[in-house]
Structure 1
Amino acid sequence: MEPVFSRFDSYNFEADQRFVDGLKSLNKSEETDLQDLKLFFYNRFVEPIDRSSYKQWSSSSPRVSSSSGLAVEQLDQKTHPHSDFDVSKNQTDASVHTETQQLSFAEVMRLIQEGKEVPGVKKLDIQPSNQSPTPSQMVRILKPWETASSSK
């Protein structure tokens, strides 16, 4: 497995446009480890890699990472350009968003029973059409026992 882990460590995520675009499309308030995102992407698009085995290998094997720390910082600067003011604003927005997102099942049930809106849930405007259903125009597929008896 070590060759796979070494190839993962040396993979240039910054040059892979699919990874960069996917990173940009993520919700900024989601607190996700960049390493986990890289592992998911690599496993999905490059070659299979076991996340838990990699994490165990990376914590136990002393190796020199050529540019991983620098690359992560550069990637973060490319994908999240902002000033210090924006950072503090985004952190407070994220903390408020995660507080509303972290409701327990009991809290959600209580809100529903009280008729209150659950924060973070889209309210869809679905109205009944009050029309009778249209009759099917497809021919019914025969069951296996019906096809066997009809061929005799």
Structure 2
Amino acid sequence: MTFLAEFDSSEIEKFISFQNYDFTNDVKFQEGWRSISSKLTVENIEKDLKKAKLFYFRKNIGPIDPEKYEIWLKSSSQTQGETETEWLQSDAESIQNADKTGLANNTENRIADSDNLSFGEIVTLIQAGQTIPGVKMVDVHPTNSSPTPSNLQPRNKPWQ
């Protein structure tokens, strides 16, 4: 309890909001984590997940000091009976389950519902043979007729 006195209420609120933030349903975080986690080793995945969460939270939600958060987490976990590794393991498991069960469906649904698709998403849709949302399919057939000559006279130039 001695450590908790070192933090003001605004810092504690930030720490709690970080701890309660729903990273599993944040599509932007999940896309980034998927690209990062494919290059990581299994031994460091929990530590790297925590780093990724802190980075994402600081970049997109609000500033948070990682060192102070570590101290607060250790002191609060001693008072609440929950350790940091239990929290990280449960988060890592839930994120991996989200990857397996529904993240691909969420991405496909987001692509289908979105008007602002990235180039990569459009390429993926074209390669899969799917229709691109918001684009009209125009049925164009050649006329097989000869071109007609122009009926308009050329405009006079200013000096003519």
TM-score bin (small chain): 0.3 to 0.5
